[in-house]
Amino acid sequence: MSSVVQMNNISHKFGKTTILQDINLSINKGEIFGLLGPSGSGKTTIVKMMTGILSPGEGEVFLNEELMPSLKQMKRYGFMAQSDALYQELTARENLDFFGSLYKLSKSKRKHRIQEVMDMVDLMKHLDQPVETYSGGMKRRLSLAAALIHEPEIIILDEPTVGIDPVLRQSIWQELYRLKDNGVTIIVTTHVMDEAEKCDRLAMLRDGKVIAVDSPDHLKEGIGASTIEEVFLHYGGAAQ
Amino acid sequence: MNTWTLMKRILKQFRRDKRSMALMIAAPIFVLTLMWLVLDGDSKTLNVGLVDVPAPFQETLEKTELELTSMSLEKAQKEIDDGEIDAFLQWKEQKPYLTLEGSDPNTAGAIRNEFQAAAPNDPTKEMNVSFWHGSEDMELFDYIGPVLIGFFVFFFVFIVGGVSFLRERTQGTLERLLASPIKRSEVVFGYLGGFGLFTILQSILIAVFSIYVLKVYMTGSLVYVLIITFLLALTALSLGTLLSAFAKNEFQMIQFIPLVIVPQVFFSGLFPIEGLAVWLQAIGRIMPLTYGAEALRGIMLRDEGIAEFQLSMYILIGFVVLFTLLNIFALKRHRRL
């Protein structure tokens, strides 16, 4: 079976600080793959390498079996960064229209997709409002909408639900499940345990190393723990 | 294609961000006006003695703001010595000869402008100008106008272009852009294009205002002035966006002003540097503003055509190309491809 994302022997340093150490990951088509770890464990670095905006010091990243960075593969994923990468002066519609154009969507297609993604994140009422008037949670949702605008087959989300209330978080996860049912691969970083439970498979990170990869249930069974939190503490403790 | 997408977005942002737009157009005009109010000092009445000037020409002159008095040559020479009059005009061999007092460059420049305005194109009235006291000081005043136009365009485009590209970095949208199938060159060209369209408008407004409202001395072609101003703006834009790669925040971007902008003021001909050591003059040779100012001075003061200022023009184009390529290269730090 071919994997959608393949990371081989990745190591990376910023200056003299080692950020990642010998990471090997293989993400399958159509799964929700979670990267779980405390802040500073290297989640964002891994995600950036998948998108091709950061080249690993050592090792290789493949998307759909093509070595990154590749402009062709960049069309196939949608990326939601940790910071809300939005143009504050522009309205939501203008932001989405801009990002849609980058993927060469036709004008009518863009119009159609803007409606769809704005409905999805429940911001339709605020479509023509400048982003600077948005609240933090609204910006987060608009970022998600921008990542989905071109109907990507892979979605890479870096801490997507930070600053979003439980009701909306629930609806975002429902949306992610719906996308997964359509065959979309979803890669999501989080440090929230209950979100980690929702993933099909989890990679647990600590200090730039992958300490375990498996489904949440298997991880728990393996060490006889009842929550992911216990698993995390178990592996984290063992690594020290 | 993506370049155009980016250009459109930048123009939309400009429409929203009225203040930056104002900074790029109104601020240069405001500062230029202030400098002119200070340097021009036009409240003073200019006294001009007339020696044997034919009646028709005297009539033309009476339409000007000058205070005219007919007198003999000896009296004129005595009065100009005493500083009673600022200039005198005499007729020799059917031609006007203007003698300027010359110790105050502002006065001398103003009188010359008035005379040029009164008798602009008639070749028989081609005026001979001499200075009672020195002549070199006179040049300083005329030198300064074209340089200032170039300088303010350069300065404000540098700041606004640099900071807005920097913001693209700090607010994470550059990363977001590079995580889409846009080429690095398309990002840079999009910026050059979007701001470029805007700086055309800016160049026109500033040049037209300086020439027609402030009446900066100008004999050459407006189109040439616009070409050079626009090229200077593009140089500032490409340099500003390039240097923003080396700034972490807006504050660090502002720190480039004393390093990059201020030295250019000293070496670009705002002050005469002919007397300086060769190696000091060489510093000016690596500064874009030097070439912009030189070309603008040539066009505005000496009515130069493309043949004469083309070298400066090509060098400016060279700067734009160089900075743009370096910028595309600098983005490699964010994405190898």
CA-nearest residue to B182 within chain A is A102
Same domain, A114 and A141: yes
Q: How far is A236 from chain B (nearest CA, A)?
A: 31
d(CA B148, CA B75): 39
Q: Which residue has the higher pLDDT, A205 or B39?
A: A205
Q: Is A17 exposed, middle or buried (0-12, 13-18, 19+ CB in 10 A)?
A: exposed
- Which CATH number do you get for residue A10? 3.40.50.300
Q: Which of B293, B282, B283 is nearest to B316 (CA)?
A: B293
- What are the structural domain ranges in chain B? 2-38+140-333, 47-134
Percent of chain B residues topping a pLDDT of 90: 24
In the structure encoding, which two tokens stand for residue A136, read together? Answer: 């933090």
Same domain, A80 and A174: yes
- pTM surpassing 0.90? no
User: In chain A, what residues touch B165 (CB-CB under 8 Å)?
Assistant: none
CB contact under 8 A, B9 and A87: yes
Q: How far is A237 from chain B (nearest CA, A)?
A: 34
The minimal CB distance from B180 to the residues A48, A89, A102 is found for A102
| Lowest model confidence (mean pLDDT) among A67-81, A172-186, B260-274 | B260-274
- pLDDT tens sequence across B212-230: 888 787 888 999 999 999 9
Q: Which residue has the higher pLDDT, A99 or B93?
A: A99
Q: Quick check: is A216 in a domain?
A: no
CB contact under 8 A, B9 and A98: yes
Average pLDDT value over all residues in chain B: 83
Q: Which of B309, B314, B265 is nearest to B290 (CA)?
A: B265
Same domain, A108 and A165: yes
Q: Rounded mean pLDDT of A157-186?
A: 87
Same domain, A41 and A98: no
User: In chain B, what residues touch A53 (CB-CB under 8 Å)?
Assistant: 175, 178-179, 334-335
pLDDT of B92 higher than 80: no
Q: Which residue has the higher pLDDT, B301 or A152?
A: A152
Q: Quick check: is A19 in a domain?
A: yes
d(CA B91, CA B235): 48
The minimal CB distance from B2 to the residues A81, A102, A130 is found for A102
**What's the total number of domains in chain A?**
2
CA-nearest residue to A54 within chain B is B335
- pLDDT tens sequence across A18-39: 889 999 999 999 999 999 988 8
Domain finish residue from A170, A186, A202: A186
CA-nearest residue to A143 within chain B is B176
CATH class of B47-134: alpha beta
Q: Rounded mean pLDDT of B296-306?
A: 86
- pLDDT tens sequence across A75-123: 899 999 988 899 999 999 999 999 999 999 999 999 999 999 999 888 9
User: In chain A, what residues touch B181 (CB-CB under 8 Å)?
Assistant: 71-72, 74-75, 102-103
Same domain, A14 and A49: yes
Write down the ipTM of this complex.
0.87
pLDDT of B41 higher than 70: no
Q: How far is A63 from chain B (nearest CA, A)?
A: 13
Q: Quick check: is A64 in a domain?
A: yes
Same domain, A59 and A127: no
Average pLDDT value over all residues in chain A: 89
Q: Quick check: is A240 in a domain?
A: no
Same domain, A11 and A88: no
Q: Quick check: is A169 in a domain?
A: yes
Tell me, what's the pLDDT at B265?
Answer: 85
How far is Cα of residue B270 from the mean position of the Cα atoms in its chain? 10
Same domain, A54 and A154: no
Q: Rounded mean pLDDT of B148-157?
A: 90
Same domain, A51 and A112: no
User: In chain A, what residues touch B183 (CB-CB under 8 Å)?
Assistant: 71
Tell me, what's the pLDDT at B142?
Answer: 60
Q: Quick check: is A18 in a domain?
A: yes
Same domain, A169 and A159: yes
Domain span at residue A79 reads 75-186
Q: Quick check: is A194 in a domain?
A: no
B332 touches chain A (CB under 8 A): no
Q: Are B64 and B98 in contact (CB under 8 A)?
A: no
Domain finish residue from A39, A73, A107: A73
